Structure 1
Amino acid sequence: MELPESPTLDGTSEELFALANAIAAVIGGSVAIEDLDHRVLAYSSLPGQRIDELRRRGILNRRVPDQPEQLRQYRDVLAATGVVRLAVLAPDELPRAAVAIRAGDLPLGTIWAIEADTPIDADGGRALLDGARLAALHMLRRRSAAELEMRAHEDALRGALDGGWGPEEARFRLGLPDRPRLTLLGLAPAGVPERGVPLAVRLSAAAARHWAAVHAESAVATVGRTVYVLLPHDSPATARRLAEQAVAALGRTLDATVRAAVSRQAADPAELPELRAEVDDILRVTTTDPDAPPVSDLAATHARVLLVHLSDQLARRPGLRHPGIDAMVEHDRARGTDYAASVTAWLDAVGNVAEAAQRLTVHPNTLKYRLRRARELFGIDLDHPDDRLSCWLQLRLQRQPPAPVADPAT
């Protein structure tokens, strides 16, 4: 399989290819320069260089093939301050040495060199380290103009999400078309939020790189743990497909579970704060549910979102709670009774005593007795539909952990 004779990868100048050739001339094997998303930015093309099939596929696909074991190798290389020699991961793979590309403490990418017939020597190590320093300067120079534009869009989107801009100002700052079809995506790491978790920081950086590569007209901004992505003119189906692709790609890059929320579509930039609230609600319930789908919208999460808002209201105004429910739950806790579970099972079964008794593994007469005693002891009226609904909601919220409130803007 022949490699392209005239390499022209998008966004990469000939300088990086020349640098890869210079390193390969010292080491003797094929050299690839990659970004943090494992995309091949440049590669050496010297006659007779040592190369294997994995490198050929990476060059032709412009991305290193995903291998679970290789993710650990990337972490080792990015954590090291010098050259790292790596074990082969397959029988047909040749030994490699790699080095991180950094600007100060900021990681930018990696350089991977296939070793010659003999292990890399001091000259080869120096060539890799010098190459990493030169690659960093080149990558920073090429990033500067693009990052200025990206930062401007990020600030504009953050202001629009906060309601800081009027519709026309938001339209101008975000470069929106006259008749936009606005869809807001939200991306957040799954799991209970923890203050200062590096995963949220890594997600922000990885998401910015991802969307810059796959959707030039998107605007990306991070607030707290959530990465917001504004798509100005995609259909709902396209927005969902892009969200699914982003979750899969970012999950592989970060070796973590990422959830995405897709808002309804809007035509007015003034609605962006509402779209943000919708996305926040969806993520609030899906990031704490290990069984939630990777991508969700409000239609799929409406019931849980409604319960979360009701829980918030009861927490803010405890006087709205039915005092008999709290008394019943406390009675069960103190005396080991099962009144709350019995009432909940009966309500879940929509008043079907036989079905509720079967769920509780008790005789139907036992359940009838407990329901009668619940009315007598705690004043719970299960005959009135409004009271039944009120009791069921409060009991339903009792048995699920509260969803965390979205992080405030920072």
Structure 2
Amino acid sequence: MLTLRALLADPALELRLLVPGPEGALDTEIVWVHNTELGDPSRYVRERELVLTNGLWLDDAEPAGFVAGARRAGAAGIVFGLRAERTSTPDELVEACRAADLPLLEISVDVPFTAITRAAAASYAAERQETLVGLVRRGNALAAAISHGAGASGVLAVLRRDHDLPLAVVDRMGRVLGAAGAQLDPEQAGVAARALARRPRPLEVDLGSLGRATIYPVGAVGDVDAALLCLRPVTELDRAERDALEQAARFLSLEVARQQTVQAIEQRFASELLDMVLSGAHRAAEVPGRLRAFGVDPAAPLAVCAVAFRAGDPTLPGMVEAITDFFLAESLPALVAGGSQDVVAVLPWRQPPSDLSALAGRLVTGLSSRFPDREPVAGIGGTAPDAAELRRPLAQAREAARVLRARGGGPAVTTFDALGGYRLLLGLQEPEQLQRFAETVLGPMREHDRRRGGELEATLRAFLDHDGHWAATAEALYVHVNTLRNRLARIAELTGRDVSRTADRVDLFLALEAGSVGEELR
């Protein structure tokens, strides 16, 4: 770095310090040198430039005015060049610099200003070369960390070899992917994630007790997926530190992209495993191997938990990751798979059922913190003795979650057995029996809808959902009450069940529910 102290240390320049200026002035970086003979140099001198002058302006201007102009411009100091006609620095100039607290140096009559310019150029060239060498060396170290699987923390460790900065990497879901010299709690990580999602994205984020942190976006696949956080305000970072942080952010994008690819593959495998379970016996042999890949013992008793949100979309981006993180924090191996209506977790379980409900309660509480504007619910199925018996508890857990979501209130966690009533009875039947019952009762009506593009089944569902209230059903369907009566009369003709009779209405309701439960069990 080019400083006054470095120039004074060069014997070839024959410089002499006359006024040292304020404390630290000799070690402040000089951005360049500026030769001027104007009485007021302030219009042309840049901040932290070193002013070189032979004093030709002395015939027309006062030293105090020249010094005041250099001070106004933010000059790093003044170098007065001696000449054969003036072999000493004017006392008035020395006094003016001392009064303005501006460094003043004197250069020998035998040394031209070009020598200072060459020294400055050589210093900058050496500094630039050192910076480039450092970037290449650090780039090689970062590439090695990525290729060896050191992860985000490995990248941060490389960065901290050169710069002692507190660092962390947080993704859009508020997960801490790596940290070095910094410790973020979940709330602080969430603040960083929300700042990352803002448009326009801020340069800094306030992390409360940790102070302000500078944000370096980390892009992976077409968007900013994470942030490299330096727990220092941007004004406290020098150029070398900012360059190093930007370089590390680019390498972190490779690591984030790798993690996203791995997660996508794992999610695909998890979803395929659920399909295998629901497919029945002809794919049952593949299930144990897939479970082992996720660290779940297929020979152990297995529990299933299905999670969804009550209002709006039943699932959201980041939900699978949040549930996976929960089970990792609980030190429980689990297969977590997301679908359009819920997210399912399969885990080994040898404890009492009440403990599983308590675990699901903690999961729901954690999701509420991660998604503060949503209301999560969790349904728990029965326990399977091993992987071969997973189909029924899987369907039961999903049905329990569906019921909780449809209720719009009440407990956030329930087991399938606790639902009681017709759902428990339906859950005890084989899926083929349920499908046959549904088809026997509803088959003619469904065939009518298929052939004529009708809405009889939708009308029946709406009528039952509105507890048989004609006006409310008609309003929900946007039809006249007479139209509703005609449709229900047609349903009675096709199914042989009249919705005005309690027994027939029960048959129709159970047939509709049996179809849904049977599909899940299949």
TM-score category of the 2 structures, normalised to the smaller one: 0.5 to 0.7
The equivalent of 2:193 in structure 1 is 74
Match of 1:160 among 270, 274, 277: 277
Q: Separation in 2 of the partners of 1:190 and 1:213?
A: 25
Summarize the alignment of residues 136-175 of structure 1 with structure 2, pairs less than 5 Å apart.
Answer: 136-141=253-258, 151-163=268-280, 165-175=282-292
The equivalent of 2:369 in structure 1 is 252
Deviation at 1:265, TM superposition (A): 0.8
The equivalent of 2:347 in structure 1 is 231
Query: In structure 1, what residue type is equivalent to 2:311?
Result: G
Does residue 188 (structure 1) correspond to residue 308 (structure 2)? The answer is yes
Report if aligned partners of 2:156, 2:167 keep a CA contact under 8 Å in 1. no
Deviation at 1:204, TM superposition (A): 3.0
- Residues paired across the two proteins, number: 312
Q: Separation in 2 of the partners of 1:333 and 1:190?
A: 23
Are the structure 2 counterparts of residues 40 and 333 from structure 1 closer, same or farther at C-alpha, using a change threshold of 3 Å? closer
Q: Separation in 2 of the partners of 1:307 and 1:66?
A: 44
The equivalent of 1:278 in structure 2 is 396
Deviation at 1:151, TM superposition (A): 4.7
Report if aligned partners of 1:20, 1:33 keep a CA contact under 8 Å in 2. no
Q: Separation in 2 of the partners of 1:152 and 1:331?
A: 48
Q: Separation in 2 of the partners of 1:156 and 1:284?
A: 21
Deviation at 1:165, TM superposition (A): 4.7
Summarize the alignment of residues 376-387 of structure 1 with structure 2, pairs less than 5 Å apart.
Answer: none
Stretches of structure 2 that go unaligned for 5 or more consecutive residues are 1-149, 428-433, 446-456, 475-497
| SS of corresponding position for 1:288 | helix
Q: Separation in 2 of the partners of 1:332 and 1:31?
A: 59
| SS of corresponding position for 2:338 | strand
Structure possessing the higher relative contact order (Cα contacts under 8 Å, 6 or more residues apart): 1
> How does the TM-score come out when normalised to structure 2?
0.47
Query: In structure 2, what residue type is equivalent to 1:184?
Result: V
Deviation at 1:231, TM superposition (A): 1.0
Match of 1:263 among 357, 381, 390: 381
Are the structure 2 counterparts of residues 19 and 79 from structure 1 closer, same or farther at C-alpha, using a change threshold of 3 Å? farther
Does residue 291 (structure 1) correspond to residue 427 (structure 2)? The answer is no
Match of 1:98 among 204, 211, 215: 215
| SS of corresponding position for 2:316 | helix
Stretches of structure 1 that go unaligned for 5 or more consecutive residues are 1-10, 46-54, 335-377, 381-386
Deviation at 1:261, TM superposition (A): 1.0
Deviation at 1:89, TM superposition (A): 6.0
Q: Separation in 2 of the partners of 1:13 and 1:72?
A: 20
Deviation at 1:392, TM superposition (A): 9.7
The equivalent of 1:43 in structure 2 is 179
Summarize the alignment of residues 389-404 of structure 1 with structure 2, pairs less than 5 Å apart.
Answer: 390=503
Q: Separation in 2 of the partners of 1:132 and 1:379?
A: 65
Match of 1:242 among 359, 366, 375: 359
Q: % of aligned pairs identical?
A: 19
Report if aligned partners of 1:101, 1:108 keep a CA contact under 8 Å in 2. yes
Between structure 1 and structure 2, the one with the greater Rg is 2
Are the structure 2 counterparts of residues 250 and 107 from structure 1 closer, same or farther at C-alpha, using a change threshold of 3 Å? farther
Query: In structure 2, what residue type is equivalent to 1:33?
Result: V
Q: Separation in 2 of the partners of 1:127 and 1:80?
A: 25
Query: In structure 1, what residue type is equivalent to 2:288?
Result: R
The equivalent of 1:31 in structure 2 is 167
> How does the TM-score come out when normalised to structure 1?
0.58
TM-align CA RMSD: 4.8
Match of 2:249 among 132, 139, 163: 132
Does residue 18 (structure 1) correspond to residue 157 (structure 2)? The answer is yes
Does residue 64 (structure 1) correspond to residue 185 (structure 2)? The answer is yes
Say which is worse superposed, 301-310 or 258-267, in terms of deviation. 301-310
Are the structure 2 counterparts of residues 215 and 101 from structure 1 closer, same or farther at C-alpha, using a change threshold of 3 Å? farther
Deviations 1:225-252 (A, max 9, x none): 2111111344234433332232222332
Are the structure 2 counterparts of residues 289 and 21 from structure 1 closer, same or farther at C-alpha, using a change threshold of 3 Å? farther
Deviation at 1:303, TM superposition (A): 3.9
Q: Separation in 2 of the partners of 1:112 and 1:249?
A: 24
Deviation at 1:318, TM superposition (A): 10
Deviations 1:237-293 (A, max 9, x none): 443333223222233223332211111111143432222221222111211333232
Deviations 1:110-153 (A, max 9, x none): 32222258355766554443322212323555676787566545
Are the structure 2 counterparts of residues 317 and 266 from structure 1 closer, same or farther at C-alpha, using a change threshold of 3 Å? same
The equivalent of 2:320 in structure 1 is 204
